[in-house]
Structure 1
Amino acid sequence: MVNFTHLDSILFALKATFSQNLELIALKQKEPSRVITLTNTTDIIRSFNAELTKVNDLINEHNYFVDNFTKERSILINEIWKFFASEYDTTIARHIDTINGIKSAIKNLKRKRDETAEKYKTVKKEIVNLENSVTSVTPTINEINRLLKGYGFTNFQIQEVKDNKNHYQIVRENGETAKTTLSEGETTFITFLYYMQLIKGSFHPNGITADRVLVIDDPVSSLDSGVLFVVSTLLRDVFTDIHTRKGAIKQVILLTHNVYFHKEIAFLDKHCKWRNNVKYLVLRKRDNVSSIQDYGEQNPIKSSYELLWTELRSKSQHSCVVIQNIMRRIIENYFLILGGISPEVILEKFNNYEERAVCRSLLSWVNDGSHSLPDDLFVEISDDQLNRNMAVFKDIFYKMGQEAHYEMMMQMKEKEDESCINNV
């Protein structure tokens, strides 16, 4: 870089020396006899020339870089990379080793993938061969007969047809064919058991492991309550297998118009693992036009007892008298009818006079059989009185050791179909 300040100072000194020498020469001209001594400017001129040389060198260097910009830029970039390589050679070497390790791992994984693909092809061929070699229906016969015997159907069983491979028939205890003598309930039940075995396999060898969706239409239309429970239990086992991704079944579409079967199969307590995977729909047909109403996770079928609790939870939408009567009907159904508990036992749990009076008010209407208006039931009560009645209503369940039932029925976020009692 050019030091113009130093150059200016040299030039200033040179000019000053020249001026001083000119003054001495002028004095000599006036007085020729005077002896004068001029200041030597050689050193100053030499210094000035040296600075000019530096400036010219810088100019030439600059012009060179301008004329050779691309070449010099490339040289600079290479020098920078050499610097980085020198400063970070250890890090770069470690990074290269990591890359080489990754490449080696990828190569090994590809090799294992190819080996696994070959093994998969081999196993798949073995599965096909095994499926083709499965000619016995004995496991299916044994399982159906076990279920029949376990659930009380002992007057008939399944038997393999000896002259017809992979076929079986229904026979009585004496060996006679029972196909034409089975009742409607027996036919429905054994058909369902056969279906439950069929869903584990296939009619075709190559379809045993295929994914499937089950569509079951009213499997309990003619069955008694005992078999209804059996069918429900078997289906719930299928639901559990779907939830745990066990087996080839991925979804079940269950259709029914049997309210009792619906209540049994749709009972989902808080311990049910697949309760959030259930969806309810109602299929209707009017004027030969079918429609489906989607209820999501909300069960549209409720018992009258459950409806009472639903109304109680939405008390803000009803009058005080309606809420009062709802509480009395709940107490009547749960404690008096189902529990067989007398009103006196409930009253003895209350020591506070006011609470005891409210409790007696709720129970006195129950004693009248819900058909007459008691003396202590007013046409309308205040909100404060209703809140006191609600508190006593809650205390009745807690004092009788039924707080779990109260909390379950009053929880807004719980499934509304959770219940500890049957239809009333």
Structure 2
Amino acid sequence: MAQLRIRGVRSYAPDRDICFDLSSKVTLIYGQNGSGKSTISGYFYDSQADKYRHCAFESPHISHYQVFNQEYIDSKFARADYQPGIFTLSEANQESQDKINSNNKERAKLSARLEKLNEEIAEKEGMKETIVDHCARDIFNRTVNDRKSLSDFLDGAKIKRSFYERMVATPLSDVRTTTEALTDKWRMLSQSEGTLVGEIHIPPTTVLTEEAIKLMQEPVMPASSTQFSALIQKIGNADWVRQGQHYIHDDVCPFCQQSFNVMAFSRELIQMFDESYQTSLGTLSQAAERLAQDCDNLAEFERRVATHAFVDEGSPILSLVKTVNKGVQILLQQFLNKLKEPSQAITPENIQSALSSLQNEVDAFNTRVRENNRLAENFGQEKRTLSADVMAHLRRICDEFFTERDRQLGELQNEVDTRLREVGILAAGKKTLDDETNTLTGQLSDIQPTINIINANLRLLGITGFEIICHDDEMKLYRLRRGNEPEKAEVFKSLSEGEKTIVSFLYFIESCSGSLTPETVNPENKLIVIDDPISSLSHNYIYEVAALIKRKIIKAAAARHVVILTHNMFFFQEILLNSGRLQDNREAPVNWSLLRIIKSDYSSCEKLSMHEMLNEYQALWQTLKDVRDEKTQPVVLFNTMRNILEYYFSFACKNEKLKEALESLASEHSDAGEYDSFYRAINRHSHSDGRNIFSTGVIDKERYLKMFRRVFIQTDDDDHYLTMMGESKELPETGD
């Protein structure tokens, strides 16, 4: 990965990043002058400059940049009298050279293996993350119902990843419980918060004596010692008689309404309802009184139970209280009935079983109350304890998935450890090779071979007016020399612009394969940036410069990544053609990237197809045809014409012929005003002059197209014009 992000510099927008993917071995970038190419090379030349503070380059491999641009030319030649020598290996000791070459080859193998191992390690680490993701997914799905019931304890852990991390942080414990039990505990605990309640106690109830029970079960009869009492018992009217005695007031019998002896009748009744009879009724009456008090107490108890915070209509305790209350009321009524008719035999209502059940329920209820109050008084600590139990329970549910995760991670880690051990061994071997190579290089490095190569390349290019020489062998410095001029002569300033570019570029090319210090020859993991090595003033060197880049940088693998920027289409095409066999089914050569920088309000970058770029020249002509056919605004006409002239006549090596033709046409039409301006202005180079001679008024496209065609007629290239424009031989007049 190698990615450059540009923001807020020159023509680049201040509010967004423009990204350039430079990960391929070669990245070829096309853009017209002013589109923003120089910003890219400028960043790599001086990335620490304040203007690049919002820009960044990211790559795990690149540690060194080598940049050819205008700043490089100015720094190395225009503002310096001498240039640092470039060290290359001397040929004096072939054995040492062979050893260095062997070391470099072995080092390259080690580097490739190390890179492969690191990729495998990164892949294994990625697989670890996949295993973790699967584990997180599995435990999240497995605990879906449990988490729903216990969600109050999962704040901050309710999504898959956070729940996984919570489980990872929870140690496996011996807690054995169920989700239902924990849910019940939480319900009790949450109900207890801030709620202290009182216990309830059954009021004391009457315990019937055996005598009272016996009296209830047997008839209570009056004495039968007199003739009258015997008669009453015989007819079974003792209870009726006893009740009627309260109505004796005068000499009239309350039973038959006849006159009778009141005194004698009263004596008979007293003898019949004797003391024993009255004692029995007294015992029954006392029991009834106590039962009546019990009914009142139980009614109050029922009210208190019904209004208790822990009781509702369906509570068992309330049902039992009502049952006991009803039983006591029945028992009371039985005693009252017995007192009214003592001769009846009544089996008393048994309430002991209901009382026993109620007491058991009250005991359980009070146990719950005491637990509630304990929880309320220690709510914080109890919640923490319960939370720990919840986490331990969930962790135990997830344990099978963690076991499987650990098994898989363990296998992967073993594979990673094996590779890491190999990485350590290879890295140590690589360092040993580096140390040995640096020692040999320091003994053999020399700057003279580079001088010879640069001068030889100058001669091959037909440049013989100057050369590079060694200025100071001890200081390892170069300088330019022209003939026998004195040492202080400013040779570089006297060169043409094309010569300045070429000599600077040759020096740069050698620095890419050599080194500025004896100890650091051929640094690895570097990025080389070449910005517009061909200008309109050095068109004659297109093929030679492209060949040098291919041979000395790309093919020689002088850097991990090479970035080439140009505004020159023919140079772009030549570099592309030098890449090797171009395949129709590919957008770019193998391990190459093609990009285009375009500028509207701001600069931007887009991918480019090599097939599309090879037809760019035809696209310029298509623009002219679109203007002619009124498909495009005429405002683009003039600059498009200048680009066509520059590309075509540079490629055909007819620059001088074009210049002569334009001067001739300008002179020929010197009286025509705008025609004279047209031919003189079109003679400017498009990269250095972006002015447009058209006024803001209406542009007569037909007249300018006629004038443009005359340029090709003047240079004997009319057939080319007609072919590109799809027109016939006829040439309309251009007069006013």
Task: Mark the structure with the bigger radius of gyration.
Answer: 2
Q: TM-score with structure 1 length normalisation?
A: 0.49
Quick one: higher RCO (CA 8 Å, sep 6+), 1 or 2?
A: 2
